[in-house]
Structure 1
């Protein structure tokens, strides 16, 4: 998909969010309008580096970090493991595994499932910027406070269409994986609600883990979990612009200046 077409599709989502739900997305196109091209990096480091600096596999949904693909594949082979993502791996083993990964060594195939799940959480938590962009997080939180469940889901999934391409493809792959995990909850005891509570803080980077819990932080954490729950339940439409908005795109393509409309401010 061409860069301009992708940006116009994002603009269509931004405009509808504002007109239909009163949700504004300030700075939605801030330095994030480039196409999703795979970059080559001499570094093998996996943790604590930007998405753009990571090695990628070309998947059906686009370019996805190699580590994330390998980790999800390993976990899918053990998808019936009880407490997947909830049970903590060994701190000593995790430290050794991440050192090997950062050195470019293949070590996931022999690692325990709980350790691999722990590495995935660390991977997202240690990204320099949250994989769900900071400039969109307030809009996501507002979507969770709309009056009806139908409106909340529609607005949340529409906001997923505004996410930058690099983040979008990584998240699409991850939520497809989590949807599969949730479907095996009879064995692993991790349905979409449990997964969302565990993973939301890692994907949205909210607050300090040592921060004291109060009414405001508790409310925000619940809203964050609701965002992730919606994505897991609707993984098949994550980042997919609804048909009625897609039909508007050709007419909007007439002026590339539309990308820099007042809605982008």
Structure 2
């Protein structure tokens, strides 16, 4: 996210839509069986009625109260055995056990003749259908105590950590006061950024894309079309961070040895950090008007006109980017990323509202920007020129 405020607005919009969807669900309550383990691994089973809005945290609290068990929810963990081949996994607390259980039921229903969502959501059907599932296919919830380190061990660890922090601070102070006058200063944490967060005009001198950006686009052009879930699947966060830091420090980086997923993630991050967005936030209203144009030919002309109003550096990046995206979309039968899927992944990083608004308007804008990006991908030859493929 470009700022904490943008992050909060996205969170508000997502929570609003989740709440709206849950209000419209046909089924709003479900009875779950929960296996309860104590510190001595003695087990018991209880049934808890949960709603579609209750989180794992509230379900744990309800279970503990129902059983009269001492302790707080922070001292327990709710685990899930999904009924698939996946291993059991702990819930953090924000998840909805209702949705997890219902998803398990739907997965099982997909394999049974004559069962569909309408049948599954009929009153009482879900409970009877759950009982009919083989044990190994049922979604199971397990409540057990968290492993607690002895208090003395935690206290000693804290003391060691505090002592180490103090020694590091003392060392830093001694080092700073004893630095010879003639020694060159170490690099400041506020060293100017070389790539991310700068205007495109400053990083694209003479209308030429930075070499690492061009190298990553080239990698995506050649490997993206044959890579399933490109731009949708996550990359290794640590690798992405390290690569971004190298690029920002001005280091000479060989991108051709990187994962194509890392290249996709870093390109997306680069777009997200362009001031005022690559499509220009000041033109947001004009883009939205163009998207609403019904006649296809008129829509293309309106969008081409807006594209030509962008700064030269923005246009150069867009031509290369949509050359890549169109090439990937042309091979969607292999990579399962059509124009719609690609737009959902990349659109939020290409255009945003010029000023903060409420979650509803933010959501409407996000949907329309995705439609715009989808249209740009599908008609990139007409909008950016048929020679965009020759850029690579």
CA contact (8 A) 1:64 1:173 kept: no
Structure 1 position 45 matched with structure 2 position 191 = no
C-alpha distance in 2 between matches for 1:144 and 1:133: 15
Shift of 1:206: 4.4
Shift of 1:213: 4.9
Higher RCO, 1 or 2 (CA under 8 Å, sep at least 6)?
1
TM-score if structure 1 supplies the norm length?
Answer: 0.65
Shift of 1:64: 2.6
Q: List per-residue Cα deviations over 1:71-102 (Å, max 9, x = no partner).
A: 11111231211111111111111111111222
Tell me which residue corresponds to 1:249.
none
> Structure 1 unaligned runs (5+)?
1-42, 241-265
TM-score if structure 2 supplies the norm length?
Answer: 0.45
CA contact (8 A) 2:276 2:282 kept: no
Structure 1 position 97 matched with structure 2 position 246 = no
Tell me which residue corresponds to 1:111.
258
Tell me which residue corresponds to 2:283.
136
Shift of 1:44: 7.4
How many residue pairs are counted as aligned between the two chains? 192
Tell me which residue corresponds to 1:183.
330
| Distance change >3 Å, CA 173–CA 74, structure 1 → 2 | same
Runs of 4+ in 1 over 4 A off after TM superposition: none
CA contact (8 A) 1:83 1:190 kept: yes
C-alpha distance in 2 between matches for 1:65 and 1:203: 18
Tell me which residue corresponds to 1:236.
381
Q: Which of the pair has more CA radius of gyration?
A: 2
Tell me which residue corresponds to 1:251.
none
Q: Secondary structure at the match of 2:208?
A: strand
Equivalent residues in 2 for 1:116-195, closer than 5 Å: 116-195=263-342
Higher normalized strand content (fraction of residues): 2
CA contact (8 A) 1:50 1:128 kept: yes
Greater CA drift, 112-121 or 152-161: 152-161
> Structure 2 unaligned runs (5+)?
1-191, 386-392
| Distance change >3 Å, CA 142–CA 71, structure 1 → 2 | same
